[in-house]
Amino acid sequence: MDSSIIHAGQIAGALVAILTLGGILVKWGIVKPIKAYIDQMTYSIQPHANGGKSLPDIANAVHRLEEKLDKHIETDHSCNK
């Protein structure tokens, strides 16, 4: 009986070691190159790529400009005062 428990523990340990090595290989062989490719292809829209300005920053700037323009249009600019 003791021998079968030891044998089962050895099998479990071997499986854990194999699965761990498989996970490491998947991470370094598949996930890391894909992440590097995505980082390279999306560099131009990443926040640090254009001086800290991201696409949401540009959208916010356009929104603020639109509000200023609306206020300017609504202001009375008549010269007949």
Q: Where are the domains of the chain?
A: 1-41, 52-81
Specify the DSSP class assigned to residue 79. Answer: S
The string of pLDDT tens digits covering residues 33-75 is: 999 999 888 877 766 666 666 677 788 889 999 999 988 888 8
Say how far apart CA 35 and CA 18 lie, in whole Å.
24
Give start and end residues of each alpha helix (H) in the chain: 2-26, 32-41, 55-74
Whole-number Cα distances in Å, 2 to 15, 26, 64: 20, 36, 75
Give residue 2's pLDDT: 76
| 15 close to 9: Cβ distance less than 8 angstroms | no
